[in-house]
Chains A and B, each alone.
Chain A
């Protein structure tokens, strides 16, 4: 990819619809380990659209609330912070992510389903890991492949064929992408997260999700393993197929056994089947 195309792509990222201020505030709250429920409520309460979406989700059949949820505070308690941030971010990015990504051989909704599967794996990872999983992991995993959405506009047949040739020669997909384009979907995803002014831990996890050993941190390990789970489920394989390197060190750092990984796959599939409709109506 030449310099002009990279410059165009950066402008494309800059031209992406801005993330609502309230979601940005929520992400900041997520990055603060001392945050309280009042901080979450404060970030949401002045955004009427967000409040309406949140109350709708909290009162949906999926939520299973025994009584009507009437306030933002009740909704946050009912859904949990992980879901509040995830639902709000997901609703915002879903429209872009359900579009087909022909350059990655991802049909309509496939990129979204892959991202949602990874997000659900991240949010349920605590049940099989020794390490504590950050509540915002759902949201970060949901956006880990957002770079594919931007890069797809720049991948013509020639570039796709060149990447494919390198893969046939034995290269991992992400390395082939970087070799041909001078960048890759993880780096571009990091650019998007930076453009949306997300916290540094979010940006780092998106940018390095194929290389968790570069700058190890819990969020990065979680997103790396969540992506693997989505691949094992066979969701959104596209041109990348199963052609990604898995880090033994990442699962070891998280304290996940091979049985735990398989259990997480089962949990994630069931959650995905329960959750898919939620973002369409939330």
Chain B
């Protein structure tokens, strides 16, 4: 089965025949997490760095924000059988619009907050494709845990 992840959403799967895909990662981040021992994986498509900019929206959909959505995404992975010690994390996205200042650099801020949270929780990011000005499509294959990115007509394994 092919699961499509929308903006501010995630999917977790464990069927070896499954694939998880998320399209149009511009400044948004795609966060893929996979436990190769228990064969559980998930993909999270998150739009904004921190929930403090709009706590009401974070209540109605915490998956809009990295800091409110990421812990819930991992909680769901653990509930489905994944174990923290096995988890392999790969991330993609965080593209930038053209601007003189960092005002519009939401992609960069998304990446920084994600890195900070992973570091705080002792989880290494083992592959990434970040920045630039192009959107990406991110894939995860549940059978192998392979994660790859398609952008500008090219595919890159993470």
> What is A's interface to B at a CB cutoff of 8 Å?
172, 228, 231-235, 237, 241-246, 248, 251, 258-263, 265-267, 269-270
Contact = CB atoms under 8 A, between A and B. Distances in A.
A245 B100 CA distance: 9
Given A242-B133, A244-B97, A237 B48 contact: no
B25 interface: yes
Contacts of B26: 231-234, 237, 241-242
Given A267-B54, A269-B7, A246 B24 contact: no
Interface string B22-59: 00111110000000000000000001111011100110
B135 interface: yes
30 contacts: A232-B97, A234-B24, A234-B28, A234-B47, A235-B7, A237-B26, A241-B133, A241-B135, A242-B26, A242-B27, A242-B97, A242-B134, A242-B135, A243-B98, A244-B98, A246-B98, A246-B104, A248-B99, A251-B103, A259-B53, A262-B49, A262-B50, A262-B53, A265-B106, A266-B48, A266-B57, A267-B57, A269-B7, A269-B64, A270-B61
Contacts of A265: 47-48, 106
B8 interface: yes
A91 B28 CA distance: 30
Contacts of A258: 103
B99 A245 contact: yes
Contacts of A263: 53-54, 57
Contact of A234 (B53, B57, B135): B135
B101 interface: yes
A257 to B, nearest CB: 9
Contacts of B24: 234-235, 237
A262 B99 contact: no
B104 A266 contact: no
Nearest to B27: A232
A172 B96 CA distance: 13
Contacts of A248: 99-101, 103
B60 interface: yes
A235 B97 CA distance: 14
Which 5 pairs from chain A and chain B are nearest by CB?
Answer: A234-B24, A266-B57, A246-B99, A263-B54, A234-B26
A245 B135 contact: no
A269 B48 CA distance: 11
Q: Report which residue of A232, A233, A269 has the largest number of chain B beta carbons within 10 angstroms of its beta carbon.
A: A232
B97 A269 contact: no
Given A266-B54, A267-B54, A270-B60, A232 B98 contact: no
A76 B12 CA distance: 45
Given A232-B97, A246-B104, A267-B57, 9 more contacts: A234-B25, A242-B95, A242-B98, A245-B98, A246-B98, A248-B103, A263-B53, A265-B106, A267-B54
Nearest to B28: A234
A172 B60 CA distance: 36
B64 to A, nearest CB: 5
